[in-house]
Amino acid sequence: MRVTMVQRAPVLGDKEANLKAMEKDILAAGRKGADLVMFGELYLTGYRIKDRVARLAEALDGPSVKRIAKAARRAGCHVLFGMPERDTRIRGAIYNSAVLVRPKGGPEVYRKWFLPNFGPFEEKIHYTPGKGVKVFDTDAGRIGVFICYDIFFPELAKAYALMGAELLAVLSAAPSSSRFFFEHLAQARAIENAIPLAYCNRVGVEEGLKFFGGSVLVGARGGIIAKAKVYEEEVVSADVDLGEADFARFHRPTVRDTRVELFRLIERELGP
């Protein structure tokens, strides 16, 4: 799979400017043979939109997703990007979502499970937590999706591994204060599940919050395949061998050796 990670700074609150930039990057990546093009968390609107989320959020069948889907068809690649998604069934529910659009077929969505509400983060004020977990089947491979803070929870990565994911894809808006954590967790999630991981972070500054970039593609054995610079806009493309997981899991059979009893213990201790 050829993965392209677009590490840029979106314009806060300006969907039109961001859509134009995304369309340009998607078409450029498609010309270079990308199978999957990734943008950061809430890239469509910028991260610190706060109360503007009610005005900027769109449904999955809204105009922004349709424009990105059209660009994906023209480029012949899959696109994964972040946006505030309005629920069409439950009035008032808005999700911090990652949307996957395909060269053919309709979009699919992952809604962020773990919403940070500490320090500069106020996501539980504005967003509804996601519930469903699924692996996206694509022509290029099977993808399990995270959004930023989700990467701190190894049970989510383990679930994707057990569900047959071949690539873990993380969309992020991580600030410089969290750089140490994300740089280590990207490799840890890949190593502990013997599965490649693509981490796409953004750069720029929003209301004093500085995003560090450092997007990285990690192989199934934890080696770094490609990495973007920190604090600079950059588009990084690289090939990842999804079949490497067979070799990695032979030598470190962590998925085979997973004990489901521990998950039952967690449910018993922390469940309702």
Q: What percent of the chain has pLDDT over 90?
A: 94
Total Cβ atoms within 10 A of residue 92: 8
Range of the domain at 180: 2-270
Among candidate residues 15, 85, 112, 183, the one labeled active-site is: 112
DSSP string for residues in 151-170? GG-HHHHHHHHHTT-SEEEE
Q: Do residues 31 and 65 lie in contact, with contact meaning Cβ atoms separated by under 8 Å?
A: no
Check residues 272 and 209 and name the one with the higher pLDDT: 209
148 annotated active-site: yes
Residues 203, 212, 214, 151, CA torsion sign: negative
Predicted confidence at residue 271, as pLDDT, reads 78
Is the pLDDT score of 241 beyond 80?
Answer: yes
Among candidate residues 15, 23, 41, 85, the one labeled active-site is: 41
- Which ranges of 57-214 does DSSP label H, i.e. alpha helix? 63-75, 123-126, 154-162, 179-193
Q: How many domains does the chain have?
A: 1
CATH of the domain at 98: 3.60.110.10
- HSE (CB half, 13 Å, CA atoms) of 72? 24
Predicted confidence at residue 240, as pLDDT, reads 97
Among candidate residues 148, 200, 206, 227, the one labeled active-site is: 148
pLDDT band at residue 267 under the 50/70/90 scheme: confident
Is the pLDDT score of 266 beyond 90?
Answer: no
Predicted confidence at residue 57, as pLDDT, reads 98
For residue 100, what are its two tokens?
Answer: 């996957």
CA distances 173 to 10, 141, 214, Å, are 11, 25, 11
Mean pLDDT of the chain: 96
Is the pLDDT score of 211 beyond 90?
Answer: yes
Q: What is the pTM of this model?
A: 0.96
Check residues 133 and 210 and name the one with the higher pLDDT: 210
> Could you identify the residue written with the tokens 């500054």?
205
